[in-house]
Amino acid sequence: MAIPKIVPDFRVIRDENLCINCQACCRVCSNDTHSFDQNIAKIISDHRKCVGCHFCEEICSTGALTIEKCYSQIRENFNWNEVDFKNLMKQAHSGGILLTGMGNDRPWINYFDHIVLNASQVTNPSIDPLREPMEIKTFIGRKPDSIEQLKKEKKLPILLETEIPVLFSAMSYGSISLNACKSIAAAAWEAKTYWNTGEGGLPESLKKFVSRTIVQVASGRFGVDARYLNEASAIEIKIGQGAKPGIGGHLPGEKVTADISAARKIPEGTDAISPAPHHDIYSIEDLKQLIYALKETVDYKKPVGVKVAAVHNIAPIVSGIVRAGADFVTIDGFRGGTGAAPVVIRNNVGIPIEIAIATVDSRLRQEGIRNHASIIAAGGIRSSADVVKAIALGADAVYIGTATLVALGCHICQKCYTGKCNWGIATQDPYLTRRLNPEIGKRRLTNLLRAWALEIKEMMGGMGINAIESLRGNRDQLRGIGLNDKELALLGIKHAGDAW
């Protein structure tokens, strides 16, 4: 048989009237899509190599380039869509598991888009954040039941204090470049929030941001030692990740450069393999032991949290984690991103974060342990409206990962796993990492947080709320649109049109 070729995903459209043959595109593309042909004095683009990262489009000073979806269409078939068709072709060719990056891109329902917010009209006044204080300071960690209980405790509980309930999600040095980590850490420092090392260890050059750093202890234990734990502001045990619940990680040896080997405390050039489970946690009581082992190590001076992917049984799981002593629980929804995950896992495993937050919050309240741990929602937070909705559903704060990277230039081409990120984010290639200037990165992330803070305050003011505490779990301020009774019940909200 004739081996079928795989139809390209994108077409590079070059307007010859605008192209001045400066060859900037040829110089910047890490996939070698563009090349200058001396014979015809023209730039040729190979559509097949284009991953749709739009870097050349952005760099082109005359606007001659447009990257378009390739419209070569198989016969329309609602069962066999183009993505499934192409993936099958690739597998028939390679015989391997297909990899991808970033979060679930399938058109599953997004509940945030089916939830609307309230605003004050007549019966109570909206509050103008330009004229009145509007408070979004947030504390993360175990909170005592009463002031009396606080007085009885020998040590004051240690809480993370953030000026905005938005934290930077765990992305390891290794999965992203040092410049990306620098941008994020510096922005967290500037905006008085927190960033998370992921399982990449804490590189020496980022230690100055250590008091705004949550360090992760994951199944590979990379970078973990007593110093690492004691330096950080909090510790997060990573059990699972929204994009690939139940799946481990693998940083190929070629990416383990001298710097990364130092941060991860593993030999240079060796594969960094994080097992799927923690091999010392096969049950909830094992988790409790690890939580307390870490707490002992840091002399109970740092909050210890646990990150889990949102899966079917999430409410009882989180309840168990809280009872096992976690000070905060990070729940990563099925839209959470990744540097590399099997396509089939990313697209089909887990549940939406909106439902997970709502069910977990309700469950913890029913059990009277809601104040024992904070909930950080992650996976699919795209805007300040999503932040407000997540908090109103019951989260204490949110983690942003993909949104962070987009602010740094990412165009969500989902090719993180190739290590050829043209934006200098998901790569260790010295040609590419220099493309992310951490000064610009920090500025853009600080801008993003500032803009979101302003928007959150505007939305709160509209609802007549001037403290984030009064929004947290205030599902009365939410209404569903186009959701069925079961969905509304799970989210704990009424349908639009229902009064109080």
List residues near another protein by CB under 8 A.
17-18, 20-24, 27-28, 58-59, 61-62, 120, 123-125, 127, 132-133, 135, 137, 139, 143-148, 150, 159, 365, 368, 370-371, 429-431, 434-435, 437, 439-440, 463-467, 469-477, 499-500
Would you say 24 or 273 has its CB closer to another protein? 24
For another protein, which is the closer residue by CB, 99 or 459?
A: 459
CA angle 303/308/309 to nearest 5° reads 150
Q: Is the Cβ of residue 63 or residue 267 nearer to another protein in the bound state? A: 63
The owner of tokens 């909200």 is: 493
Minimum CB distance to another protein, residue 498 (Å): 9
According to DSSP, the β-strands at 374-378 and 397-400 are parallel
Task: Please report how close the Cβ of residue 2 comes to another protein at its closest, in angstroms.
Answer: 40
* Residue 259 Cβ vs another protein, minimum distance, rounded to whole Å: 14
325 Cβ contact list (under 8 Å, min separation 6)? 288, 291, 292, 295, 304
Nearer to another protein, 70 or 159 (CB): 159
* Beta-carbon contacts of residue 26 (< 8 Å; ≥ 6 apart): 34, 35, 36, 43
Residue 28 or 340: the one with the smaller Cβ distance to another protein is 28
Give the nearest distance from C-beta 469 to another protein in angstroms: 3
Shorter beta-carbon distance to another protein: residue 101 or 441: 441
- The rounded distance, in Å, linking the Cα atoms of 353 and 310 is 7
Compute φ and ψ for 7, nearest 5 degrees. -65, 135
Residues 426-429: contacts with CB within 8 Å, 24+ apart?
426/101, 426/175, 426/176, 426/177, 426/180, 426/339, 427/30, 427/177, 428/174, 428/177, 428/255, 428/257, 428/260, 429/30
Name, in order, each residue with C-beta under 8 angstroms of 278's C-beta and a sequence gap of 6 or more: 218, 219, 237, 239, 286, 290
Minimum Å gap between C-beta 8 and another protein is: 24
Overall size of the chain counted in residues: 500
H runs (alpha helix) in 394-484? 402-407, 430-433, 438-463
Nearer to another protein, 247 or 432 (CB): 432
What does the alpha-carbon distance between residue 434 and residue 440 come to, in Å, rounded to a whole number? 12
SS3 of 449, please? helix
Smallest separation (angstroms) from another protein to the CB of 162: 13
Closest contact distance (angstroms) between CB of 89 and another protein is: 34
> CA 246 to CA 498: how far, in whole Å?
40
Closest separation in Å from C-beta 189 to another protein: 20
44: number of Cβ within 10 Å: 13
Q: Output 21 or 348, the one with its CB closest to another protein.
A: 21
Contact between 364 and 314 (Cβ < 8 Å)? no
- DSSP state string for 139-166: EES---SSHHHHHH-SSPPP-EEESSSE
- 311 vs 356 by CB, closer to another protein: 356
Which residue number, 85 or 139, has a Cβ lying nearer to another protein? Answer: 139
Let me know: does 471 contact 391? Beta carbons within 8 Å: yes
Q: Which is nearer to another protein, 239 or 436 (CB)?
A: 436
In the bound complex, what is the minimum distance in angstroms from residue 484's beta carbon to another protein? Answer: 21
Residue 290 CB, nearest approach to another protein (Å): 26
Q: Is 381 exposed, middle or buried (0-12, 13-18, 19+ CB in 10 A)?
A: buried
> Can you list the positions of beta strands (E) in 63-164?
65-69, 99-100, 115-117, 138-140, 160-162
Q: How far is the CB of 428 from another protein (least distance, A)?
A: 12
Task: Specify the residue, 264 or 442, whose C-beta has the smaller distance to another protein.
Answer: 442
Task: Specify the amino acid at residue 371.
Answer: N
How far apart are CB 465 and another protein at their closest, in Å?
5
